[in-house]
Structure 1
Amino acid sequence: MKGMKLYLIGTGILLILYLAAEYYKPKPTDWRPSYLKEDKIPFGLYVLNKEYQSLFPETRIETSRLPAYNTLKDKKRKTSNYLMVAGAVNIDELDYQELVKFMKDGNHVFIAAFDIGDYLKDTLSLDVSSALSYRKKKDIPINFVNPALKAKHAYVFDKGLGDLYFSKLDTSRAIVLGRNEKGEVNFVRYNFGKGALYLLPNPQLFSNYALLSPKGAEYAAKALSYLPQAATTIWDEKNTKGNQGDESLLRVLFKHGQLRWAYYLSIIGLLVFVIFERKRRQRIIPIIPQLANSSVDFVRVVGKVYYQQRDNRDIALKKISYLLEFIRASYRLKTSEIGEELVNGVLLKSNGNEQDIRHLFATIEEMNKPGRVTDHQLITLNKLIEKFYKQAQ
């Protein structure tokens, strides 16, 4: 017991020292692309959230953690914008149908994501590729097509922020708004009634890292200027935070590095404790009940022995021997030789079917030949014998 207390105290001290060291050590830059409007990390959207009000001063921001279908269904909206900035956007058929209704009523949808989902790609005939050259590793300049927005010097972003483009595009439906220096399209618009859908495959252009540079802030402002002044902007958080109600204690633990490692250390400590405890204490000796001396158990034991040995020939010969004994006792027939005389005698004195009886004795003759008896042959013999017993009753 004393050793156990020392072990627990030592483990607790080590855990406290580790947590203190983790808490006071310099925090490394978190480069995770979270795209959350409250995150101040490089690829969060804190700056965009703050500056959006200056771009659209009369707009009320409404956050949503529900699919577009649930957000827009049975709600008549006028002069509204729908903003999605995420690594991947999951839009199914129902979401798309509601978004189309939403846009036809005069509203606009702006999607900036690396992956816009298979359904949207198939519906709009789109595909996304990267313009980054791994040999030269040179950042590709990008710019707008509209002369009023086109910069004199193209926008160049490091870390590949603007390298993605639409490698497949239906130009009969899409209106090109931006290209890179190779002429590849990286910003498009689709008109739906009075509204429009804007697609941009580089969401990191709206991150804190991009907006803290003058060129990045200018590009984001021009891209968002295509959206009209609206009474409401629906800021989608379903594709970054998950569905509403998707919160759990473990989700918070795994989000923060210190809490995650504290959780791991606690689990490891418990496992070590359990392992050492198992070695120090004797296992409980189970009580083995005495075997019951009954005929049913005896038959089961014998059956298991035969099954384990897999001697099908021995089993078949014993069943044939019991059958012949039954014929001698019931019909007073000689069974020393199995032939046509014995078969005719059994047919005459039993009520069995002639075809089944002849099949039975043919099988018996086959079993008496040297060679291996398969499971299928043994099962067939057993079925024929049992059928004969039923007919002989």
Structure 2
Amino acid sequence: MFVLILITSVGSGAAEEQRFSRQHISYSSRDKAPYGSFVAHRLLQDQFEVKPQTVTKSFAATYRKNADMRKANNAYIIVAGRLYITPDDANAMYHYTSAGNRLYLVLEETDSLLESTFNFATKYLTDSLAQPEQFADTSTQSFSNRHLAPDTFFQARGIPMNNALTVADTAVTTILGTNDRHEPNFFRINVGNGQLYVLLNPMTWTNNFLLENNNIKSFETQMAYLPQFPQNLYWDEYYKQLRSRQEGDFSDWQVLMKHPSLRWALWLAVLLLLLYVLFEGKRRQRLIPPKPVLHNSSLDFAETLGRLYFLHHNNKNLAQKMTQHLLEYIRNNYYMNTSQLNDEFVTLLSRKSGQPREVVGNMISQVHAIRLAPAVSDADLQYFYNSIYQFYIKTN
């Protein structure tokens, strides 16, 4: 059933005439085109019943951050064209396999750092990679397995890859498969408690190859060498994107620094940001608002209160309120006792306020008259208002 689903989703592209340039080869797990690896990625889930974890960082960065990779019984799969690794990657791969894990590399070409780290060498036949712009040749893979017939091989239309192993330590290296020239192109190297697997024919992991004939058996034969129940299964999507060796971990910053125009744009942006912080980020002196001219709030209160009571025509009550406010003003501004409004009070208030004694005495006399009068006429109220109004203005 699973194979039928794959044929439905992928086989339409594989059934067409195989006329593709090398730019169509991606080996990506998301690519359903003939030379993607969508089928192989889905087959891994059925083969191991463990969902592959997609890795998008370098091996060294992933190994450094993932504690599970430093344990045993893990499988890490890289399917790519040319492999480009750093010294840190090579060192991490060696420690990873030595700890009891499997590193499975399916490559067109290996890397010199990888070969020196694991002590082997390969040869690259240029006619297997330098194909014309369009190709329709046959890719072949045989396996050296005693459980298979000696003449068992798998074929499909694609790029013939005849790269092969040339130098290896026979004490730790086992040949597992050959190309159509009967040269070893699939081998295993024992490293500590783990193994390194190298297959120099990634065509066998493409959709086109696996959906032809009974070629899924080829995939099952390869996966039979890995543990049936790995703790973790990793699928690399990082190295297939590289076209040259990276200095350290590949990142967006390296892309910016690699191209001169982007590098100058980055530095210009940094410079402009620094200039903004220098000239605009510092604290500016705020404008000092003008100090408003002081005015006599007592006068405003008296006017407002006067309008209120005048509307109700309650002259007696209004005059008493004006008297209370006047005495409150005297207490708060001249600190005088207003309980006894006698001659001494008039003399002291005149001295403190700077007003003539006659004016102050007249105002205090009106206060006494209002207190004793049963009613206050409009004329008396107006005269009293003018007296305290002049007092407020001249003492402000």
| TM-score after normalising by structure 2 | 0.49
Max Rg structure: 2
- Give the alignment's TM-score, normalised by structure 1: 0.50
